Amino acid sequence: MAQDKRPYIVVVIIQAIYTGMFILSKAALDEGLSPAVFLFYRQAVASILLVPITIGAKWGTQSKLSFMLLFKIFMLSLVGITVGLNVYHIGLKYTSETVASAAFNAIPVITFFLAFLLRMETLKIRKSHGMAKAAGVALCLAGVVVIAFYVGPTIHPLNHHRLFHPKGGSQSETHSNGEWIKGTFLLFFANTAWSLWLVMQGLILKECPSKLLLTTLQCVFSTIQTFVAAIALERDFSKWKMGFDVRLLAVVYCALFNAVISWYLQAWCLQVKGPVFVAMSNPLAIIFTVFSALIILGETIHLGSIIGGILTVAGLYSVLWGKNKESKISNSENERSKGQNTEQEVVVPIDETDSESSSRRLDVSV
Q: What is the pLDDT of residues 196-225, one digit of tens each?
A: 888 888 789 888 878 888 889 999 999 999
Q: Is the pLDDT of residue 268 over 60?
A: yes
3-state secondary structure 46-62: HHHHHHHHHHHHHHHCC
What are the phi and psi torsion angles at 155 (to 5°)?
-110, 115
pLDDT of residue 157: 60
Grouping H, G, I as helix, E, B as strand and the rest as coil, residue 280 is coil
pLDDT of residue 298: 61
Residues 6+ apart with CB under 8 A from 13: 262, 265
Mean pLDDT of 11-37: 86
173 neighbors 71 (Cβ within 8 angstroms): no
- Looking at per-residue pLDDT, the higher value among 293 and 196 belongs to 196
Mean pLDDT of 345-359: 50
- Looking at per-residue pLDDT, the higher value among 47 and 345 belongs to 47
Mean pLDDT of 145-167: 64
- Looking at per-residue pLDDT, the higher value among 318 and 72 belongs to 72
pLDDT of residue 169: 47
Give the Cα separation of 18 and 216 in Å (integer). Answer: 19
Q: Is the pLDDT of residue 25 over 50?
A: yes
**Mean pLDDT taken over the chain:** 77
Q: Is the pLDDT of residue 161 over 50?
A: yes
What are the phi and psi torsion angles at 44 (to 5°)?
-65, -45
pLDDT of residue 283: 72
Grouping H, G, I as helix, E, B as strand and the rest as coil, residue 302 is strand
pLDDT of residue 128: 85
279 neighbors 112 (Cβ within 8 angstroms): yes
- % pLDDT > 90, the chain: 13
Mean pLDDT of 184-193: 85
Mean pLDDT of 27-39: 85
Instruction: Work out the pLDDT band at 171, boundaries 50, 70, 90.
Output: very low
What are the phi and psi torsion angles at 301 (to 5°)?
-115, 145
Instruction: Dump pLDDT digits (tens) for 223-237.
Output: 999 999 999 988 887
Mean pLDDT of 65-80: 92
Q: Is the pLDDT of residue 351 over 60?
A: no
- Looking at per-residue pLDDT, the higher value among 321 and 253 belongs to 253
14 neighbors 266 (Cβ within 8 angstroms): yes
270 neighbors 278 (Cβ within 8 angstroms): yes
User: What stretches of the chain adopt beta strand conformation (E)?
Assistant: 154-155, 301-302
319 neighbors 137 (Cβ within 8 angstroms): yes
Q: Is the pLDDT of residue 362 over 50?
A: no
Give the Cα separation of 15 and 283 in Å (integer). Answer: 8
- Looking at per-residue pLDDT, the higher value among 215 and 357 belongs to 215
Question: Model's pTM, two decimal places?
Answer: 0.70
